[in-house]
């Protein structure tokens, strides 16, 4: 369709390339240039950048307040963190070492050469029984906060859970308390409106002593285990948490328990402890190129969508005329007849039309009366007068089959009239006209 025609026929035969004055001007572009669309979008770009800057500044200003971390985190200033007690211990000369895996914790206690306290708080029960067994003799003093079932089973199977103490009630150290720290603290309490979790020492369990025993005989602090490595179970993390450290003697108990040795290993188990024994994942089994190839294929799909979806110029508008089907009124009327089973009305419409045609066929005037038409039709067909009159006027169909039959008879009568008025075609055909 493309060829190298010089010019339209009407134009003079000049080469427009050499004569720019004759060449038509540039066609004006409708598509905005990159610069123009950039200028148009400048406000929104500036607004987006401004919003981003405001967000960053707000984040930097309020960053401290919304800093988070794990519950009882060493550096977590949130209400559930334990930065307060850790900072006080550090200020008192205790070397607080943070560990986030069992190996790191054991290495730290080993480095302290037996003069370390190990704090374990396994909030999400990540440690398995083998790992718990390795904790057993790790440090001179191990403080287990809020022990779960696995920890109790592994370290002190005799001890059971004691439920939650009554709310809004400080628990006194009690006479049976043999712990110096416990005695010094005097009493412990949770936040107002909450109780403390407790542990229960069965009567037949030997070697364990409970402090802060409530009226039901369950203790908040249970100590015991072995000759050299002492084991403490602090049943409730609220004792150490920032939000409740100042209640009753909580702070004194915390400092007394954790500040005994020059080194405190602060160990909160993390996911690093779990992965150790799991079976190899799909990602480890598949070769390294699988993920990049998948990324590439996704990008290819996106590129294909862009390549084929890019619109080739704007849509073309065209006003189209309305389309109205002429037979709609007729169809609507027939459905109305059918829905209301208007048999007589339908048949009468057919009769009126047939009477008009018969009258025309028989050469009657438009003004001829019904009786005249009936009489003429009877005479033309030889049918009895009452039969013709019944078909054309009198009969009223009571059901659909009667209506069908009547319609057939009406058509039959019309056919008979036509036959009756057609002259016999026995005459020979006319001859050709003379030229």
Partner 1 sequence: MAITPRFVLLLALGVVPIVALGGDSLADAATVLGVWLAFVLVLAALDLVLAASPRLLSAERVVPARLRLGESAEVQLFLGNRGTRALRGVVRDAWQPSAGADTNRQRITLPAGERRRVSTRLTPTRRGERRVEQITIRSLGPLGLAARQATLEAPGRLRVLPPFHSRKHLPSRLARLRELDGRTAVMLRGQGTEFDSLREYVRGDDVRSIDWRATARRSSPSLAPSLMVRTWRPERDRRVVIVIDSGRTSAARIADEPRLDTAFESALLLAALASHAGDRVDLLAYDRLVRGRVQGASGPELLSRMVDAMAGIEPELIEMDWTAVPSLVRGVTSRHALVVLLTSIEAPGAASGLLAVLPELSKRHTVVVASVTDPALQQAASARGSRNEIYWAAAAEQALLDVERVSAAIRQSGAEVVTAAPAALPPALADRYIALKAAGRL
Map the footprint of partner 1 across residues 235-254, applying CB under 8 A.
Answer: none
Which part of the chain contacts partner 1 (CB under 8 A), choosing from 135-143, 178-186, 266-274, 300-308?
Answer: 300-308
349 is a contact residue toward partner 1 (CB under 8 A): yes
Residues that bind partner 1 (rule: CB under 8 A) add up to a total of: 77
Evaluate whether 231 touches 217 at the Cβ level (below 8 Å): no
Q: Toward partner 1, which CB reaches closer, 26 or 113?
A: 26
Q: Toward partner 1, which CB reaches closer, 99 or 403?
A: 403
133 is a contact residue toward partner 1 (CB under 8 A): no
Q: Toward partner 1, which CB reaches closer, 173 or 347?
A: 347
Which part of the chain contacts partner 1 (CB under 8 A), choosing from 62-70, 100-108, 345-353, 370-378?
Answer: 345-353
Give phi and psi for 322, each to the nearest 5. -75, 150
- Token pair, residue 75, equals 């550096």
366 is a contact residue toward partner 1 (CB under 8 A): yes
227 is a contact residue toward partner 1 (CB under 8 A): no
Which part of the chain contacts partner 1 (CB under 8 A), choosing from 50-58, 85-93, 178-186, 301-309?
Answer: 301-309
Which part of the chain contacts partner 1 (CB under 8 A), choosing from 49-57, 62-70, 90-98, 311-319?
Answer: 311-319
Q: Toward partner 1, which CB reaches closer, 93 or 288?
A: 288
Q: What distance in Å separates the CA atoms of residue 416 and residue 429, rounded to the nearest whole number?
A: 25
299 is a contact residue toward partner 1 (CB under 8 A): yes
Q: How many CA atoms lie within 13 A of 64 on its CB side?
A: 1
As measured in angstroms, the least distance from the Cβ of 60 to partner 1 is 31
282 is a contact residue toward partner 1 (CB under 8 A): no
Q: What distance in Å separates the CA atoms of residue 6 and residue 16, rounded to the nearest whole number?
A: 9
Distances (CA, A) of 79 to 92, 146, 191, 274: 22, 17, 11, 27
Q: Which of 92, 227, 323, 426 binds partner 1 (CB under 8 A)?
A: 323
Q: What distance in Å separates the CA atoms of residue 230 and residue 247, rounded to the nearest whole number?
A: 26
Q: Which of 324, 394, 423, 425 binds partner 1 (CB under 8 A)?
A: 324
Q: Toward partner 1, which CB reaches closer, 111 or 404?
A: 404
Here's the x/- map for partner 1, 3-42, by CB under 8 A: it reads as xxxxxxxx-----xx--x--xxxxxxxxx-x---------
Q: Which of 292, 424, 429, 435 binds partner 1 (CB under 8 A)?
A: 292
Q: What distance in Å separates the CA atoms of residue 179 and residue 297, rounded to the nearest whole number?
A: 66
As measured in angstroms, the least distance from the Cβ of 19 to partner 1 is 11
Q: What angle do CA 121, 123, 128 make, to 5 degrees?
A: 85
Q: Which of residues 386-425 bind partner 1 (CB under 8 A)?
A: 400, 403-404, 407-408, 411
370 is a contact residue toward partner 1 (CB under 8 A): no
Name the region of 170 (left: φ>0; alpha: ψ -120 to 50; beta: rest): beta
Q: Which residue has the tokens 């950039």?
A: 38
Looking only at the bridges linking them, the beta strands covering 160-164 and 230-234 are: unpaired
Q: What angle do CA 311, 313, 318 make, to 5 degrees?
A: 110
As measured in angstroms, the least distance from the Cβ of 290 to partner 1 is 8
Q: What distance in Å separates the CA atoms of residue 245 and residue 238, rounded to the nearest whole number?
A: 7
Burial (Cβ within 10 Å: 0-12, 13-18, ≥19) of residue 402? middle
Q: Toward partner 1, which CB reaches closer, 63 or 292?
A: 292
2 is a contact residue toward partner 1 (CB under 8 A): yes
88 is a contact residue toward partner 1 (CB under 8 A): no
Q: Toward partner 1, which CB reaches closer, 17 or 66?
A: 17
Identify the CA nearest to 214 among candidates 265, 168, 278, 171.
171
Q: Toward partner 1, which CB reaches closer, 246 or 334?
A: 334
**Angle separating helix axes 370-381 and 400-421, nearest 10 degrees:** 70
Q: What distance in Å separates the CA atoms of residue 113 and residue 283, rounded to the nearest whole number?
A: 41
Identify the CA nearest to 102 among candidates 124, 141, 146, 133.
133
Which part of the chain contacts partner 1 (CB under 8 A), choosing from 103-111, 199-207, 223-231, 283-291?
Answer: 283-291
């Amino acid at each position: 369709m493309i060829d190298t025609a010089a010019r339209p026929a009407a134009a003079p035969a000049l080469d427009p390339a050499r004569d720019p004055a004759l060449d038509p001007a540039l066609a004006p572009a409708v598509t905005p240039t990159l610069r123009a669309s950039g200028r148009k979008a400048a406000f929104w770009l500036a607004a987006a950048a401004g919003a981003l800057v405001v967000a960053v500044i707000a984040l930097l200003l309020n960053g401290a307040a919304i800093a988070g971390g794990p519950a009882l985190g060493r550096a977590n200033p949130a209400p559930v963190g334990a930065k307060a007690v850790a900072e006080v211990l550090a200020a008192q000369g205790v070397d607080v070492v943070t560990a986030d895996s069992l190996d790191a914790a054991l290495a730290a206690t080993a480095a302290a050469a037996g003069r370390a306290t190990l704090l374990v708080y396994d909030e999400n029960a990540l440690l398995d029984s083998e790992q718990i067994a390795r904790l057993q003799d790790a440090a001179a003093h191990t403080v287990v906060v809020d022990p779960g079932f696995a920890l109790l089973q592994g370290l002190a199977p005799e001890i059971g859970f004691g439920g939650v103490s009554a709310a809004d009630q400080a628990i006194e150290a009690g006479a049976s308390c043999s712990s110096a720290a416990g005695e010094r603290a005097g009493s412990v309490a949770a936040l107002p409106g909450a109780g403390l979790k407790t542990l229960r020492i069965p009567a037949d369990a030997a070697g364990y002593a409970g402090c802060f025993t409530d009226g039901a005989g369950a203790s908040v602090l249970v100590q015991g285990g072995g000759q050299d490595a002492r084991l403490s179970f602090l049943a409730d993390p609220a004792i150490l948490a920032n939000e409740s450290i100042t209640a009753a003697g909580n702070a004194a108990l915390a400092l007394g328990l954790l500040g005994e040795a020059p080194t405190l290993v602060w160990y909160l188990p993390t996911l690093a402890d779990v992965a150790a024994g799991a079976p190899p994942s799909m990602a480890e089994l598949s070769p390294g190129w699988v993920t990049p190839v998948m990324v590439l294929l996704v990008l290819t799909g996106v590129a294909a969508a862009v390549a084929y979806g890019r619109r080739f110029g704007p849509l073309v508008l065209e006003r189209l005329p309305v389309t109205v089907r002429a037979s709609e009124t007729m169809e609507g009327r027939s459905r109305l007849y059918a829905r209301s089973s208007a048999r007589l009305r339908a048949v009468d419409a057919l009769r009126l039309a047939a009477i008009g045609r018969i009258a025309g066929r028989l050469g009657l005037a438009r003004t001829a009366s019904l009786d005249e038409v009936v009489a003429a039709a009877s005479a033309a067909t030889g049918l009895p007068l009452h039969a013709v009159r019944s078909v054309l006027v009198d009969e009223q169909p009571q059901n659909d089959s009667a209506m069908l039959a009547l319609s057939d008879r009406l058509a039959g009568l019309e056919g008979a009239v036509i036959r009756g008025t057609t002259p016999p075609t026995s005459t020979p055909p006319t001859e050709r006209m003379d030229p």
